[in-house]
Every structure is written in C-alpha cells, then in structure tokens.
Amino acid sequence: MSVLPPDLPRLQTLVIYLRGELGLAERALAAAEEREAAAVRQQPAPERAA
C-alpha cells in the first residue's frame, strides 16, 4: 500500500513541494561543498621532503 495520495491534485502539489525542498537541499549542499573547498585552499601546503 502506497503512502502517496491517489488523486492527481494532491500528487501534483506533493511533487511541486518536493521539487522545492530538493532545490533547497541542493543549494545547501553546494554551499557546504564550497565552504569545504575554501577551507582546504586556506590550509598551508605540506612541506616537501628533501
């Protein structure tokens, strides 16, 4: 048995809502990845062994 509503209007509303939430999650992920990349770039390079 599905937990999704069977009728078209509610399914459409659910899809619209979930697309919006997915967009928010994708933007949050991109921001977190950029923060991580910036932190890595700010770390000093390891010294080379001679």
Burial 8-27 (b: 16+ CB within 10 A, else e): eeeeeeeeeeeeeeeeeeee
Write down the pLDDT at residue 49: 76
In tens digits, what is the pLDDT along the chain, a chain of 50 residues?
A: 689 999 999 999 999 999 999 999 999 999 999 999 999 989 887 788 76
pTM value > 0.75 = no
In angstroms, rounded to a whole number, what is the distance separating the alpha carbons of residues 43 and 19?
36
Write down the pLDDT at residue 44: 84
In angstroms, rounded to a whole number, what is the distance separating the alpha carbons of residues 19 and 28?
14
